[in-house]
Structure 1
Amino acid sequence: MTNRNIRNPREVAPPPAPRTSAQAGHPSLRVLLAALSTVVLLLSGAGFVVSGKVSNSAGNLSLGGGKGTKSWQAADGAQDILLVGIDSRSDAQGKPLSPEEIAMLRAGDEENENTDTIMLIRVPNDGSSATAISIPRDTYIHDDVMGNMKINGVYGAYKNAKKEQLFSSGVTDEEKLEQQSKEAGRKALISAVSQLSGVTVDHYAEVGLLGFVLLTQAVGGVEVCLNEPVNEPLSGANFPAGRQTLDGPDALSFVRQRHDLPRGDLDRIVRQQAFMASLVHKVLSSNTLSSPTKLNNLADAAQRSLTLDDDWDIVGLASQMKNLTGGNVTFTTIPVVSIDGVGDYGESVVTIDKKEVHRFFKDMLGDKDKPAAPSTSETPNQDHKLVSDADVIVLNASQITGLASRAASGLHQEGYKITEVGNAPDGLYTYSQIVASSENDPDAKALATKLGGLPITTSPSLEPGEITVVVSSDYNGPVSDEPFDPDNPEAEPSTSEEPTTSEEPADIVGQPGEAIDPDSTPVIDAGGDGPRCVN
């Protein structure tokens, strides 16, 4: 690990054993009904169309900021699900697809590590709605380790880097190499989406091409509508204009096409969303969920294609969303600056303004991660003060250079006493957390609340009055642009502010191309009496 910060770390005891994850199964029709009606059919649909690899285990992903998200009654009011689509020539159990299945996919023999479908889905606690927001595959972002890159390449870049690291350290077991490298890729993608959106990811779902075809066939096909006829050989899309019902392979071609479309990948995303909306509408308004044959087919499809993190409570989610109607399921896309921008190496990219994307998510989803206001029925003396006199140690458990130093500076500006800044031992921590002598330490609990509800772990090496803040890639607490000054730790926190202007400067990576009309991307819902016609 790179020497990222200032001082040698203090040794602290490791956190509890990490959670494990398992591929979604079907122990009963009721559980599969819940999984497919709420997760796959309601939220996924065409999100299965991608490029990359599928795994039968999501691994230890430290979701929900490491706090765990088993209950669908989230304290912040909603669960945010990252849905990732991956192109694979094996199923979710690792079994290779048959030649007939590969031919049915019309996707060729080549596979890569890109995640070409990325959606963030919000489900509120009351189950009254579901909002799915697509992130274009070519969205150009900055990664603190890999540099500037397309977001669909994050998973593969970190997966390959982790595999090389493991191999060079002597790990040769192929199964272990794949498992740990895929886990690293997933964690990196979760972090990238969280940083882009400003939203903490609570759950992870990964699906493959085969699942899309099987699920479409299981419901008897899905109705779509085209504005104009299409004949595009690269995707196999050859359809007349108007309304039509597509089976699995044809539906796959319909949502894969991005060439010969006016807005390229943005129009492909709209197709995916229109397909999903039609699928949801069909399931919610027909006898799909009361047909034993269709349920068995859906169960088999999920078994072979869907990978979930271990904290999914599928029955609980289904119970929350039992009264959902199609009109309350909406699909949209993040705002983009241009679709013909230029990256560092001359590649075509989609440019975005990160600040505008953050505003978009706050407006669309609400400010989920804003801490709840304290109860007015309690007096100030009943709660321990948020800023304490405890000695605070800040350790960097990420690959982000200087994160601990900037976090320490941010905490110092909030009034905390920083006594030590350094790097966490390699592999000791996988998510941000508070470490204290006791989980009931009032200073630790207050600081955990201040930092958005970080989990508290304990270490016998710490004395009362000492707290360690471990910052990883999921850290969303205060940071400063200026690193912490260890030679002047008692300096008063800076309170100076730059004059604000009516417009903030844009935060854009890459060279933008021709501006996109911000009102050109539709919001699609699953209500109505027929599919939305699209390009």
Structure 2
Amino acid sequence: MLDPPNHRRKGFRSRPGWQKALIVLLAMFLVCGLSAGIATYVLVNRYEGKTQHEELLGPAAEPKDEQRWKSGPLDLLLLGSDDRGPSERAYLGQRSDTIMLVHLSKNLDHATIVSIPRDSYVNVPPAGSWRGGMNKLNAAFAFGGAPHAAKTITGLTGVKFDGALIANFASINRMVDAVDGVRVCIPYTVRSTFSEKVWEKGCHDLDGVEAEEFMRQRKAVPGGDFGRIHDQQLVVKAIAEKVAAEGMLQNPFRLDALLSTAAEALTIDKNLDLKELVLVAKNIKPENIKFATVPYTSASLKTHAGSAVKLDDAKAKEMFAAVRDDTIQEWLAAHPQKLPGS
């Protein structure tokens, strides 16, 4: 068995938010990569109808600039939550499991997805009963929902957002099975804490159930939560590569099973048009989607809010400046990300 008896019963809703967020983000970019024509238009309208629209950004929103949407760059905020309800307003009091800054390059042909550790110890502005001060980043979501999380992240990064998305419902194993499994190459050995399964360093073919079990490992992975983030990135990349390699992007209807469930997972900022996003990101290929994590110096900082992550202030400041200047790809090339635990 993978987990305690209730594992299969809980399904996707019990899964970590980083899985949900990345699954949905992958689906978004796959939609953006569909071939042009009537079939694509029909699918986009279908998925648009399955998404919810809410006020997610508030004052953290970048004023709408039509030219920016035509030529870039663009910055999106992606949050993952364990929400059980249909509305973003139901998220109040909960903490966001995943916080990602998605940067689309000026030419709209590259995307950089920067994970900001949810336990980063940062300044969280006042909201509700919270008087303001240092706290874990994901607490901002609990204090004031997505708009307050966006305000806090803008204060940290200096980035104002052109759009935002919340992921709250999907299924990783169904997506892996929809592409008939994935091949993942692991730079270290991972031992399951749910079964006797061991993934030795090297390449492995995973079906949906096994991919889910692999992505949920934390205790026996180098770097703990950071290792788990790295492993789920490997699976997400593998799905994108499998889709592209088998020509699914040239046949939109083959993607329907993969995308329809993911579309239902989305709450989109009311000012973000899915069809507009498709048009601006249509040239982004899977190999041009890069993942990164904000540099940190300690994953076990002792604070009044419990154990937190201490960001590397100098390097984080440089990284955020590179996002704002649209030089993040060059910055990452000059500052290669280390493997978790190294």
TM-score by length of 2: 0.70
Counterpart AA for 1:220: D
Q: 1:113 aligns with which of 94, 108, 111?
A: 94
Contact preservation (8 Å) 1:218, 1:294: no
The match for 1:128 is 109
Residue type of the alignment partner of 1:185: G
Distance 2:181 2:95 in 1: 27
Residue aligning to 1:382 = none
Letter in 1 for 2:139: G
Which residue identity does 1:334 align to in structure 2?
V
**Residue 277 of structure 1: aligned partner:** 237
Displacement after TM superposition at 1:315 (Å): 3.1
Asked if 1 retains the 8 angstrom alpha-carbon contact of 2:116 and 2:293, the reply is: yes
Q: Pick from 181, 187, 190 the counterpart of residue 150 of structure 2.
A: 190
Distance 2:42 2:317 in 1: 35
Give the deviation of 1:239 after TM superposition: 4.2
Report the residue type matching 2:325 in the other structure: D
Sort the Cα spacing of 1:301 and 1:258 in 2 relative to 1 into closer, same or farther, 3 A. same
User: Distance between the aligned counterparts of 2:205 and 2:101, measured in 1?
Assistant: 27
Residue by residue over 1:433-469, the C-alpha shift from the partner in whole angstroms, topping out at 9 and shown as x without a partner, is: xxxxxxxxxxxxxxxxxxxxxxxxxxxxxxxxxxxxx
2:325 equivalent in structure 1: 367
1:131-142 superposed matches below 5 A? 131-142=112-123
Q: Paired residues, what number? A: 288
Corresponding residue of 2:40: 30
Distance in 2 separating the partners of 1:223 and 1:255? 13
The 5-angstrom pairing of residues 52-451 of structure 1 reads: 56-59=52-55, 61-62=57-58, 65=61, 67-68=63-64, 71=66, 73-74=68-69, 77-89=72-84, 113-145=94-126, 146=130, 147-156=133-142, 158=143, 184-208=144-168, 210-233=170-193, 238-241=197-200, 242-291=202-251, 294-344=254-304, 347-363=306-322, 365-367=323-325
Consecutive aligned runs of 4 or more in structure 1 exceeding 6 Å deviation: none
Partner of 1:449: none
Cα deviation, residue 246, structure 1: 2.9
Distance in 2 (alpha carbons) for counterparts of 1:60 and 1:89: 18
Contact 1:273 1:332 survives alignment (8 Å): no
Q: Secondary structure at the match of 1:297?
A: helix
Going by fraction, where is helix more abundant, 1 or 2? 2
Larger radius of gyration: 1
Q: CA deviation at 1:225?
A: 2.3
CA, structure 1 residues 214+58, in 2 after alignment: closer, same or farther (shift >3 Å)?
farther
**Residue type of the alignment partner of 2:100:** M
Bigger relative contact order, structure 1 or 2, given CA contacts below 8 A and separation 6+?
Answer: 2
Whether the aligned pair in 2 keeps the contact of 1:271 and 1:534 (CA below 8 Å) is no
Structure 2 unaligned blocks of 5 or more: 1-27, 32-37, 327-333
Is 2:330 aligned against 1:521? no
The answer to whether the Cα contact below 8 Å between 1:205 and 1:306 also exists between their aligned partners in 2 is yes
Amino acid at match of 1:196: L
Per-residue Cα deviation, 1:295-329 (whole angstroms, up to 9, x for no partner): 22134213321221123233333333333334422
For 1:343 and 1:113, how far apart are their aligned partners in 2? 20
Q: 1:319 to 1:534 in 2, by over 3 A?
A: farther
Change (3 A) 1:190 1:29: farther
Distance 1:36 1:534 in 2: 43
User: C-alpha displacement at 1:29, in angstroms?
Assistant: 5.2
Give the 3 Å change call, closer, same or farther, for CA 65–76 of structure 1 in structure 2: farther
TM-score by length of 1: 0.47
The one-letter code matched in structure 2 to 1:137 is R
